Structure 1
Amino acid sequence: MTKLETKKTIPIVAKSFDELHHGYIIEGERQVASEGVIDFLQNKLNFDTKGNPDFYLSNFETLSIEESRRLKELQGKRAFTGKTKVFVVMVDFITSEAQNSLLKIFEEPTEGTHFFLIIGNASRLLPTLRSRLHFIKLSSMGEDKEAKDFLCKSQASRLAYIKELTDRISDGELPKNRVIELLDSLEKIFYDKLSKGDLDSAYKIESIIKARSYAEDRSPSLKMLLENLAIDF
């Protein structure tokens, strides 16, 4: 399987928290993005992320309204060690109700609180939420290459790849969002082909969108979803 880049510089120009925006959306692979944010906080802003009660790192497959309310409650409290609190929130999907709850945080942000919302595909966010946050898109060359390699494989090789991928997810070695990232990259490839006149790509895009909607359910059969695509393509 394609080995993802493990460290990436986050393109934020700030020498202090006073110069930092109150909230960022970072579109990219969660591990790469989160490590980049932590590196930025520690090395650029001298903010200790280890054992710091004012640093919150959360990881959700689906962010619900209850979890969003909990974040709202936490960010409203005073910092323990100084004036600054930082939240790094990694998600695959956020319900509409949870997004509206988050929106209230960013409409009236608590002084000294900064959010980094990491998501694989920011187009799933409500426009009103996106408009309140500074958007950063990280390159996805590794993910795109993985999708291109997938399409170049024979049907038998695709099925073998899918088995390996879903087995690693089941074993906890990889997060479930790797399937969403693969689908996002496949969708981009076929949209590019469609823009160049390949009308067959429209059907494939429709199939990908449908598969992704099922993949975002609570208990999807990821292996079955990908196998159906492998056969269709």
Structure 2
Amino acid sequence: GLSALYEGTRAWLNIPLAVIDFETTGRDAESDRIIEIGIVGIDEGVIRFREGLLVDPEMLIPEDAIKVHGITNEEVAGAPKFHELLPHLGELLKGRIPVAYNAPFDRAFLLEELRRAGARIGGGDFVLDAKAVPAFDKELVWIDPLVWARELLTTLRQRTLTAVTEHLGIPLENAHRAVGDAEATAHVLLRLASQLPEAYADLIRIQERHAAAHFRFRR
């Protein structure tokens, strides 16, 4: 559940946000792993920081994944493993509501990596604190600009991040690299903000309704 801070009428733009993007070894959160983390912090509608972290996935990156993001096995050799990055990740995400483009994908990967890391860390120093770090909360619905792009940009045939940024005139630098995609997602969200429900609770409630309707329509 959410703390009182985020409930009710509080405007979502006034809540600290963390836009998250992962590059991965593939599309299955259970069998694939994160190889790059991009996080962009937004405060009061302004981008405050951006950070990119390479991760050792503890498995080989398949060729078809390398073709998408260009991250090679050589690049991640010697990078920290996910569980080693967790304390730093917790600091970056602390007190920030998570945002991701096609959020179910990134959310599933994060929760699966947390599950693995929890098993790995055991009684170690780092405790997963979902109250302090909203992105670690299994129940939390992330803000997803893709859902809103589908609703608002009805003339677009494709709603990929590339198509949407192009349509909105937002430069997408380093597409399919985590920080580039996270930053582009941040700009999409801020560009659409004036057309979105103002209160955080309303934004999530209506977003969930749109997402469910889209899912039903697709099947």
**Considering the TM-score relative to the shorter chain, is it more than 0.5?**
no
| Larger Rg computed on CA atoms | 1
By relative contact order (CA 8 Å, sep 6+), the higher-ranking structure is 2
TM-score band, normalised by shorter chain: 0.3 to 0.5
TM-score, with structure 1 as normaliser: 0.31
Name the one with the larger helix percent.
1
